[in-house]
Amino acid sequence: MLFAPAISYASEGEHHHEHDEKKIEKIQVTASRLGRIVTESATRTEVISGEEVQEKALMRPGNISMLVAETGGVRVQNTSPALGNANIRLQSLYGRYTQLLSDGLPLYGGQTASIGLLQIPPTDLANVEIIKGSASSLYGGSALGGVINLISRTPSDQFAGEVLLNATSRSGQDITSYFAGPINQVTSASLTTGIHNQEPQDLDDDGWLDMAEYQRATIRPRIYWESESGANLYLTFGAMKENRDGGTEEGATVPDGNPFIQSQDSLRLDSGLIFDQPIGEILNWNIRASAMRQEHDHLYGIVAENDVHESYLVESSVSGYNDKIAWLVGGAYQSDRFHTEDFPEFNYNYQVPGVFSQVDYEATDDISMSLSARSDWHSEYGTQFSPRISMLYKPENWVVRGSYGQGFFAPTPFIEDIEDVGLSRLAPLDNLEEEQATTASIDISYVYESIETSVTLFASDVDNVTELEVINSTETTFDKQVRLVNASGQSEIRGAELLLRYRWRDLKLTGSYLYTDATKQNQAGSGRQPLTLTPKHSAGAVIMWEEHGSHLVGFEAYYTGTQHLEGNPYRDKSDAYWHLGLLGQITVGSVSYFLNAENLLNIRQTKDDSLLLLQQNPSGRWTTDIWSRNDGFTVNAGIRVQFGH
């Protein structure tokens, strides 16, 4: 089943605990293309359930960062201390390798900008699917590190909706709404809207804003149609407008005596469709298409940059199945474009036709495998072949999976450092090669009654990593001070994830631990050094007490170990820290009142060190990396009113 929106997920309001285990068994995942039952899919796909989505939406109604940040092996990395941008790192691979999808469509671009993560509200989500490791065989070069697929709620046969109002102790406000219902016997629709505001915050009174100011509005209508013959059509449209301002506050300066205001005005428009048509008894024809246009007006101190990102996808596939085999073949055409009149030497227009296939084979009741492969003909980087193989063995209460994949990533100017400071000091790209990765994992899970445990071992080797290099002063031409180069040697990542889930009546306990050994070759080529901003040890524990329709109380504790730092004049290694949170909700009829306290220990990086550098970095940046929190203790509270449930 390839049509994501038509899948029958448990809707909000159906999460009665006595049925949870049965519902989990029936969840179908679509990120692996062939829509297998999650427990029967050879491709490991982690699913964040609707229940967890609703809990996290109370903690951070404005965006999905909290939702994905607290999943094992997933790290939300702040990439801009000025604007607060962040991206998602899967098993310590760079965030630019993570493909963010909405119902299987790249509505946020072939390469999701770091700011995009902060502009997507969780209001209308039913589930979130995560594939870790190279998924280029399924989705092309943008999925080198994995896929996060945001699955939207589908309308039921009755009208339903909700409105959520939220306010924070840091002068932030959110208003979100979701309404859905049938239009006629074959058509239904939903509408999601959001208005978000954040006032500027300088928590250490140094003149540099620790929390950027922004005002954002979003709207997304969706239309679902299903014919009597079984054909499905899904249409979605989206618009987002945001103004975001950071850097120095009015009247303040950076160490050179000048103000440095950093701002970004964004306008994103997108649309997408999925059409699914059964052909006879065993065949299925699927069409997917999407278009995205994003306009940015940047200001970096006195440098203004205006640009346009565009992304397009057209894809068609045919699938079929019998008792033992499910298969799919298809073709796709992707286009990614960037245009700016301020620095036209960085304009690019990537055209990428490709073909792909997937075969799932059930050898016995306990053993199955999935093989997928894709060939892309990239207009800039030539022919790329991306295979992936996954195997599943599930005797009785055990589930054992293994996966191996290869993929590629087409470099653009927008690695994390350049996204934060713009193009003005970057030399034109020259002789870059595509980034390539090989990933592998083995995971073993055991389920006994209400206890679930799992251990995952993973490894990744990445070649030709694109990184920023300072140009030697004798080579500097005018104001170009940095350039992008392919790093010599491999980046090697090895790690293990441990997970424990336990449910007793209305209590739910989740514990996780992640060990990561991530290194790259040092510049001298004589040895290896740790990857920056990659903690070797991290762990988390969440306990939740919930009686559906009555109350919810939750406590969470997350530990982040020390991280290697570069370019920080105050320290070479970060401190370890704990993040503690407490959530409470009371529901009376259709109205829920919630109170959430985050960062109970008031952890804040600027308590120990300034974010400001002593002098401007050659790239143009005035700040160190953020390795900790920068918002301190925060409380948010609000009300959620539901209709038709």
59: three-class secondary structure by DSSP: helix
The C-alpha angle with vertex 369 and arms to 366 and 374, in degrees rounded to 5, equals: 165
Chain position carrying tokens 């424990």 = 500
Domains of the chain: 4-643 (2.40.170.20)
- pTM, rounded to two decimals: 0.92
The two beta strands, 283-300 and 261-279, are antiparallel
Phi first, then psi, for residue 25 (nearest 5°) are: -65, -25
Which parts of the chain sit beneath pLDDT 70? 1-39, 112-115, 473-478, 645
Which residues lie below 8 Å from residue 177, measured CB to CB, with a gap of 6+? 123, 161, 162, 163, 164, 191, 192, 193, 194
Residues counted in the chain: 645
Select from 118, 78, 421 the least CA-distant residue to 254: 421
Chain position carrying tokens 């919630």 = 594
Q: What is the pLDDT of residue 58?
A: 87
Q: What's the CA gap between 116 and 118, in Å, rounded? A: 5
Q: What is the pLDDT of residue 229?
A: 87
Q: What is the pLDDT of residue 86?
A: 86
Which helix (H) or strand (E) segment is 22 a member of?
Answer: helix 20-26
18 in Cβ contact with 551 (< 8 Å): no
Q: What's the CA gap between 558 and 454, in Å, rounded? A: 19
Q: What is the pLDDT of residue 55?
A: 86
pLDDT tens by residue, 261-278: 999 999 999 999 999 999
Q: What's the CA gap between 539 and 583, in Å, rounded? A: 19
156 in Cβ contact with 11 (< 8 Å): yes
